Structure 1
Amino acid sequence: MTILVAYVARPEGQAALDKGIEIATRRNEHLVVVNAGAGGRDESIVDGYEGERVAERLTKLSIPAEFKHFVRGKSTIEEIEDLVATMDVSVLIIGLRKRSPVGKLLLGSMAQDILLNVSCPVLAVKA
């Protein structure tokens, strides 16, 4: 079984990473941390240093863990759906940020899309 963490380089991503490490260590499960997006100027895509920092943190764990970084034209949701479909994911962990009701209405919600489209349990954490 695998714990999958959707990571962004923001406080909510750090909260998801921390919770993923906690659960995977307690359950002795494989941990996969993924940062993904179509590319461009999306600030949630980690730079090389941030990715290296996350990967280095994972090497210090007592469980098998890996960091995956995808910028290959697919949306974040498509990448996560593909990983869930191809891996034995026991839980997907995502971070949530606070948004106003109008912001949710006008901009949509990536978290909502994930919750509605993936076939595994999802744990949403706040920063």
Structure 2
Amino acid sequence: MTVVVGYVPTPEGSAAVDAAVEAAQRTGARVVVVNTSYHGDYAHPSFATEQDIDALDAQLAQAGLEHEIRRPLDGSGPATTILAAAEETKADLIVIGIRRRSPVGKLLTGSTAQQVLLEADCPVLAVKPRA
């Protein structure tokens, strides 16, 4: 079994990783973490720092999970990259973090979560950070 999780260094990204860890521990799944740039901007805060990646790697190792962290540098958007990783690994589950956005905000900037939810070939778990 494989769980693919979209990660950005935000509370939403951390919630997604936590949910992926829980799912993987229940099922014995392998975890594939995907962190991408924002439209090819590798200086954007959504592209995790080396410290973020090291902490994530330590968290997954401490949880005793087989895992892989992918940081593609091809400039593809987050949804495309998450969906490609899910297809390539034959994922059983995709986990994404979501945040509240206004309808106008979704219209103007699109929605990674919406694209993943609509285009995924496997179940998608969308989580919000715990308050």
Cα pair 1:95 1:125 within 8 Å, conserved: yes
Q: Supply the AA of the counterpart residue of 1:26.
A: R
2:24 aligned partner: 24
Q: Deviations over 1:90-112 (max 9, x none)?
A: 11000001112221222221111
Q: Supply the AA of the counterpart residue of 1:107.
A: T
Cα pair 1:94 1:122 within 8 Å, conserved: yes
1:7 aligned partner: 7
How far apart are the structure 1 equivalents of 2:128 and 2:107?
Answer: 20
Q: Which ranges of structure 1 fall in alignment gaps of 5 or more residues?
A: none
Secondary structure class of the residue paired with 1:36:
coil
What is the RMSD of the two structures over their aligned residues, measured on CA atoms? 1.4
Give, in angstroms, the shift of residue 47 of structure 1.
1.0
Q: Which ranges of structure 2 fall in alignment gaps of 5 or more residues?
A: none
2:67 aligned partner: 65
Give, in angstroms, the shift of residue 80 of structure 1.
1.3
Q: Deviations over 1:53-87 (max 9, x none)?
A: 11121121223122222222222122112111111
1:90 aligned partner: 92
Greater Cα offset, 4-13 or 35-44: 35-44
2:51 aligned partner: 49
Give, in angstroms, the shift of residue 43 of structure 1.
1.7
Q: Deviations over 1:12-64 (max 9, x none)?
A: 00000000001100111111111123431432110111111111211212231
Q: Supply the AA of the counterpart residue of 2:98.
A: L
How far apart are the structure 1 equivalents of 2:5 and 2:54?
Answer: 16
The reply on whether 1:39 has 2:40 as its aligned counterpart is yes
- Which stretches of structure 1, 4 residues or longer, exceed 2 Å deviation after superposition? none
Q: Supply the AA of the counterpart residue of 1:33.
A: V
Give, in angstroms, the shift of residue 122 of structure 1.
0.5
Compare the two structures and name the one with the higher strand fraction: 1
Q: What is the TM-score normalised by the length of structure 2? A: 0.89
Cα pair 2:94 2:125 within 8 Å, conserved: yes
Q: Say how many residue pairs are matched.
A: 127
Q: What is the TM-score normalised by the length of structure 1? A: 0.91
Q: Supply the AA of the counterpart residue of 1:44.
A: S
Cα pair 1:58 1:67 within 8 Å, conserved: no
